[in-house]
Structure 1
Amino acid sequence: MVNAQTAGFEGNYVMNANGQTATLQIAPYEGGIAGQLTIGAESATLLGTVSGKQSEGLIQDNGNGQMSAYTAIVSGNRLDLTLLIVDPNTYQTTPVTLNFTRGSAAALQQTTAAAPARQTTSGSGGIGGSNSAVAKEWKNLLSNTRLTYMDSYSSGYGSNYGGYSVERKIELCSRGFFTYNGTSNFSVDAPAASGYSYGNNNGDGSWSVIDNGNGSAILQLNFNDGSAAQYNLGYQNGKTYLNGERWFRTTAADGGEYAPVSCN
Structure 2
Amino acid sequence: MEIPLVSIITPSFNSEKFITETIQSVQNQTYKNWEMIIVDDYSSDATISIVTKIALQDNRIKLFQSEKNSGTGIARNTALTKCKGRYISFLDADDLWKPKKLEIQINFLKNNNLPFTFSFYDCINEQGKELNKRVEAPRNLSYRQLFFCNYVGNLTGIYDVNYFGKITISSIRKRQDWMLWLTILKKIKSVQPIPESLAFYRIRENSISASKLNLLKHNFAVYRRFHGFNLVFSLLCMTGFLFTQLLIKPRYIKNTKASI
By relative contact order (CA 8 Å, sep 6+), the higher-ranking structure is 2
TM-score (norm 1): 0.27
- Higher fraction of helix: 2
Greater Rg, structure 1 or structure 2?
1
Name the structure where strand makes up a greater proportion of residues.
1
